[in-house]
Structure 1
Amino acid sequence: MAGTTAAHRPLRTRLRPEEARGAVLVLHGGRDSSLDPVEPWNAAALRMRPFVRGIRRAVAGAGIAVGEVRYRYRGWNGDRADPLRDTLDALEELEELLGPVPVVLVGHSMGGRAALRAGGHPRVAAVVGLAPWCPPGEPAEQLAGRDVVLLHSDRDRITDPAGSRAFAERARRAGARACRLVVAGSDHAMLRRAGDWHAVTAATAAGLAGAGPLPPAVAAALRAAALDEPLAPVR
């Protein structure tokens, strides 16, 4: 397993059916540059706990495993792309545990960037990016043939909503089935309208993993390859 040591195994399994037919991996956010280790109480990782719980409930009994990726370092760190390396290692570890099952990656912020980059891995079938960090020129060719769903607040001041829109358009041109939905009035931490973020992400991950139908808004956005579809409040 390239890059993985006994001191750091990036995969954290949260639900493992006896006979898994698919998996969802959740990736938390981080920083542009930092070689500080990710501690268990890391706020970005803790923020994803409600998403993990929601996904576990959404796929319960459907033969879908759920896990998290824990990074070595808090930062992306330029060309090192440390979270991407950890994600690829976690995918290899997951295949050792479950066999060659299809995987849905769900990533927030820096984790969204890592998930989109790792989308070219042979086991990845779909990516859900939550307020993803999509710098200009971020590659999208690796996502050909994958489903890509991006959700972004129009008031995000940390990652650029225009960047995720441009990325979804590039991914679509590269051969992905891609869409972007706008969570109006929210924020980067996904605290405003948190219930909407949690519910739609869990249902989308479950639907992409084959554990149920996609939320109607997401299904319609994917069909239309919509880039600015507003996400209505979940009732």
Structure 2
Amino acid sequence: MAQRALPLPAARLGRAVRTAGSSTAVSGVVLLLPDGEPYSYRRPSSLAYALQLPLARTLARAGRDDGLAAHLVHYRCRGWNTADAHPAADAEWAVEEVVRRYGDVPVCLAGHGMGARAALRAGGHPAVAAVLALAPWLPPDGNTEGDGDAADVPEPVKHLSGRPVLLVHGTNDARCDPELSFRLAQRAKKANRDTCRFEVHSDGHALRQHHAEVAALASDFVRGALFGHAYARPVADALAAPPPLGLRMPLAAGFGKSLRG
């Protein structure tokens, strides 16, 4: 396990990503939480942040008329680091910083990989209105056992109640087992009926093969969850469907094409 030799730098928010629209005021914020590593006190990878920029821009463009701003969260270090759960703590700090900067606006935590777990873990903050978890990195069997936390303690889900939660996972993800996100979604659905999960068939951890569809799905979810827009029919059906149907919803090829024009 990596050892910490020096004090960690402070977490910070990247520059706001916004697209000019009819609204000039910030009325909602999405926080992008990048992927990372299980154990490391090294500074976060610049590549991990760069990979989140396209989604940040897509979300900002989709929500331009609603006053949506997107920020990348810069972690103190790149590792989860067992019980320290640094990215989750940094996500909570970032939500507090959004409240300080923008006031009482709804926040969506949108993470990828380890960042998705951080989004799920920090999703109970009162200012968080929605959680988007892409290819979440989770401990074996949905328990914290195996990543250095207390054994046989399930990953928490009850704190997510009262806010829409969307999980998206590629069926060919070789880094983060998609079955683990399905099992977590099953438990989350029992505590929070506004939980759904989409499967991206044949795609891997980075969700590159169907990146346009994933971005369109994320945009539809964020606009609906933060600003009350009607969800696209597949999203509405997934949220309303009982398990396992709403937790194994296939992401159709071409999803959102009409919205992208």
Q: TM-score, normalised by structure 1?
A: 0.91
The 4+ residue runs of structure 1 with deviation greater than 4 A are none
Structure 1, unaligned stretches of length 5 or more? Answer: none
Is contact 1:106–1:205 with CA below 8 Å preserved after alignment?
no
Structure 2, unaligned stretches of length 5 or more? Answer: 1-6, 143-153
Q: CA deviation at 1:166?
A: 0.8
1:121 corresponds to which of 120, 125, 133: 125
The CA distance in 2 between the partners of 1:216 and 1:149, in whole Å, is 14
Q: CA deviation at 1:195?
A: 1.5
Instruction: Note the alpha carbon deviations across 1:182-212, whole angstroms, 9 max, x for none.
Output: 0001110111112112222122222212164
Q: CA deviation at 1:57?
A: 0.6
* Correspondence 1:80 to 2:84: yes
* Correspondence 1:144 to 2:164: no
1:95 maps to which residue? 99
Q: Point out the structure with max Rg over C-alpha.
A: 2
The CA distance in 2 between the partners of 1:208 and 1:10, in whole Å, is 25
* Correspondence 1:26 to 2:29: no
Pairs aligned (count): 229
Tell me the amino acid that sits aligned with residue 213 of structure 2.
Answer: D
Task: Report SS of the residue matched to 1:14.
Answer: coil
Structure 1 stretch displaced more, 13-22 or 204-213: 13-22
Q: CA deviation at 1:48?
A: 1.0
* Structure with the larger RCO, 1 or 2 (CA within 8 Å, 6+ apart): 1
1:60 corresponds to which of 48, 60, 64: 64
* Correspondence 1:15 to 2:18: yes
Is contact 2:13–2:94 with CA below 8 Å preserved after alignment?
yes
1:35 corresponds to which of 38, 41, 66: 41
Q: TM-score, normalised by structure 2?
A: 0.82
Tell me the amino acid that sits aligned with residue 64 of structure 1.
Answer: L
The CA distance in 2 between the partners of 1:212 and 1:141, in whole Å, is 26
Identity of aligned residues (%): 38
1:170 maps to which residue? 187
Tell me the amino acid that sits aligned with residue 36 of structure 1.
Answer: R
Give the alignment's Cα RMSD to 1 decimal.
Answer: 1.9
Tell me the amino acid that sits aligned with residue 231 of structure 1.
Answer: L
Task: Report SS of the residue matched to 1:19.
Answer: coil
